[in-house]
Structure 1
Amino acid sequence: MSDDRAAQLQSLSIDRSEPEASNSPLKVIVAMVLAALVSVLITWWWMNGQIKQVRSDAATAIAAAQENIPVSGSSAPATAPRASGLVASGYVTARRQATVSAEITGTIREILFDEGSKVEAGQVLARLDDKRAIISLRQAKAQTESARRNVQSLQARIVEADIVLGRAQTLADKAIGPKAAVTAAAAALKTLQAQLAGARADLAASKANVASQVDLVERHVVRAPYAGVVIAKNAQVGEILSPSSAGGGFTRTGIATIVDMQSLEIEVDVNEGQIGRVSPGQKVEAVLDAYQNWKIPAQVVAIIPTANRARATIKVRVSFDEIDARVLPDMAVKVTFIE
Structure 2
Amino acid sequence: MAYKKKYAATALAGLVLVSFAGWWFMNRQADKISGPAGATAAAGAASAAASGPTSGPVRPAAVEVARVATMTLIDETQATGSLRSRQGVVLRPEVGGRVRQILFEDGQRVRKGQLLVQLDDQLQQAQLAQARAELSIAQANHKRNQELVAQNFVSQRSVDETSAALEVAQAKLALADATLQRFKLLAPFDGVTGLRLVNVGDYLKDGTDIVNIEDMDALLVDFRLPERFQSRVRAGQQAQLNADALPGRPFTAVVQAVDPLIDANGRSVGVRGCIDNRTRQWRPGMFVRVNAVFGQRDNALVVPEEAIVPQAGRTFVVKVVAGEKPGELVSQRQAVRTGLRLPGKVEILEGLSADDTVVTAGHQRLQRDGSPVRVVDMGRSAAPAAGPASVAASSPAPLPSPVAQRPIADGPRKGGASAPARTAVPAGPNPCLRG
TM-score by length of 2: 0.45
Matches within 5 A, 1:311-326: 311-320=266-275, 323-326=278-281
In the alignment, the residues of structure 1 paired with residue 247 and residue 231 of structure 2 have an alpha-carbon distance, to the nearest angstrom, of: 27
Asked if the contact 1:101–1:241 (Cα under 8 Å) also holds between the matched residues in 2, the reply is no
1:240 aligns with 2:204: yes
Asked if the contact 2:192–2:214 (Cα under 8 Å) also holds between the matched residues in 1, the reply is yes
Q: Once the 2 structures are TM-superposed, how far is the Cα of residue 300 of structure 1 from its aligned partner?
A: 2.5
**In the alignment, which residue of structure 2 is the partner of 1:231?**
194
Give the one of 164, 168, 171 matched to 1:208: 171
Q: For 1:98-157, what per-residue CA distance to the aligned partner results, in whole angstroms no more than 9, with x for missing partners?
A: 222233333332221233111101001111221221121122222223333434554665
**In the alignment, which residue of structure 1 is the partner of 2:180?**
217
1:257 aligns with 2:220: no
Matches within 5 A, 1:258-273: 258-272=213-227
- SS of the residue aligned with 1:317? strand
Unpaired runs of 5+ residues, structure 1, are 1-81, 163-185, 244-251
1:281 aligns with 2:244: no
1:296 aligns with 2:251: yes
In the alignment, the residues of structure 1 paired with residue 189 and residue 260 of structure 2 have an alpha-carbon distance, to the nearest angstrom, of: 29
Question: 4+ residue stretches of structure 1 with deviation over 6 A?
Answer: none
Asked if the contact 1:137–1:214 (Cα under 8 Å) also holds between the matched residues in 2, the reply is yes
Matches within 5 A, 1:159-170: 162=151
Q: Once the 2 structures are TM-superposed, how far is the Cα of residue 310 of structure 1 from its aligned partner?
A: 4.3
Q: Once the 2 structures are TM-superposed, how far is the Cα of residue 311 of structure 1 from its aligned partner?
A: 4.2
**In the alignment, which residue of structure 1 is the partner of 2:13?**
none
Asked if the contact 1:229–1:258 (Cα under 8 Å) also holds between the matched residues in 2, the reply is yes
Higher strand share goes to which structure? Answer: 2
Higher helix share goes to which structure? Answer: 1
Structure 1 303/207 Cα, relative in aligned 2: closer, same or farther at 3 Å?
A: closer
Asked if the contact 1:119–1:229 (Cα under 8 Å) also holds between the matched residues in 2, the reply is yes
Asked if the contact 1:140–1:209 (Cα under 8 Å) also holds between the matched residues in 2, the reply is yes
Unpaired runs of 5+ residues, structure 2, are 1-72, 296-435
In the alignment, the residues of structure 1 paired with residue 276 and residue 203 of structure 2 have an alpha-carbon distance, to the nearest angstrom, of: 42
**In the alignment, which residue of structure 2 is the partner of 1:124?**
115
Q: For 1:39-76, what per-residue CA distance to the aligned partner results, in whole angstroms no more than 9, with x for missing partners?
A: xxxxxxxxxxxxxxxxxxxxxxxxxxxxxxxxxxxxxx
Letter in 2 for 1:282: Q
- SS of the residue aligned with 1:96? strand
1:138 aligns with 2:129: yes
**In the alignment, which residue of structure 1 is the partner of 2:90?**
99
**In the alignment, which residue of structure 2 is the partner of 1:88?**
79
Equivalences, count: 221
Asked if the contact 1:108–1:241 (Cα under 8 Å) also holds between the matched residues in 2, the reply is no
Q: For 1:19-50, what per-residue CA distance to the aligned partner results, in whole angstroms no more than 9, with x for missing partners?
A: xxxxxxxxxxxxxxxxxxxxxxxxxxxxxxxx
- SS of the residue aligned with 1:95? strand
Asked if the contact 1:140–1:206 (Cα under 8 Å) also holds between the matched residues in 2, the reply is yes
TM-score by length of 1: 0.57
In the alignment, the residues of structure 2 paired with residue 265 and residue 330 of structure 1 have an alpha-carbon distance, to the nearest angstrom, of: 10
Asked if the contact 2:219–2:276 (Cα under 8 Å) also holds between the matched residues in 1, the reply is no
Structure 1 85/135 Cα, relative in aligned 2: closer, same or farther at 3 Å?
A: same
Matches within 5 A, 1:54-203: 85-151=76-142, 153-154=144-145, 162=151, 189-191=153-155, 193-203=156-166
Q: Once the 2 structures are TM-superposed, how far is the Cα of residue 84 of structure 1 from its aligned partner?
A: 7.3
- SS of the residue aligned with 2:82? strand
**In the alignment, which residue of structure 1 is the partner of 2:291?**
336
Structure 1 308/156 Cα, relative in aligned 2: closer, same or farther at 3 Å?
A: closer
Q: For 1:237-288, what per-residue CA distance to the aligned partner results, in whole angstroms no more than 9, with x for missing partners?
A: 3131414xxxxxxxx1x32221111331211232445656644433322112
In the alignment, the residues of structure 2 paired with residue 156 and residue 88 of structure 1 have an alpha-carbon distance, to the nearest angstrom, of: 78
In the alignment, the residues of structure 2 paired with residue 154 and residue 280 of structure 1 have an alpha-carbon distance, to the nearest angstrom, of: 66
Structure 1 272/204 Cα, relative in aligned 2: closer, same or farther at 3 Å?
A: closer
